[in-house]
Structure 1
């Protein structure tokens, strides 16, 4: 019996590239960097030697965005800069136009007279509520 053979030409398979996972990693790192840049610029910096006042109970909630900072020597800061009396009155009137509450971050070494004076000025500007932002005593 005679055999007939015919050569079969198979196409050469081109290997497919594997999906490169480094692109996804680059995207994640970029998004993390972007998040850290945005998060670091949302809140203005506190004065250099600021130490948070401490409290032992949590009753209220407050938003520190747009709030004031009362330092050890009674100076008032807003948006990373110190306010003089004229700027403070203008800022309080602006806040009173938008809301009836004011948030103040208080240094634990601030004298009570400074807090009372700021509260009186806030009330005369038309603000009804004053939230003092502190940290929990014994906390991290």
Structure 2
């Protein structure tokens, strides 16, 4: 529920995710287009080797299905990318991949849980929650 708006914020997001997942890669599932968008379905994969927000690296691998909408204005300029995925699926793979029979992993799991709780306490960006239903033309 975060918005990365503007050149610096978007570059920061890409930097941070590449630190968290330096081997991040995509596997294309489908590519579609509409009058003002390109829609991409893909698998996102990587290994959690750096901090993800307040969640410390676990060394676990993940594979999660995602959808990205690339929205264009009337001049065909890219104005927005919206990414949708099941966050819990990713977190389950990152944290659930820890072998809790190893004492040090119990501590790491607790740090991950603390980081996750801290991140979930953040207020969602109002641009994502305070929306207006579009007026659609009736047929």
**Shared fold (TM-score, shorter chain, > 0.5):** no
Structure of higher RCO (CA pairs closer than 8 Å, 6+ residues apart): 1
Q: Using structure 1 for the length normalisation, give the TM-score.
A: 0.25
Normalised by the size of structure 2, how large is the TM-score?
0.25
From the CA coordinates, give the structure whose radius of gyration is larger.
1
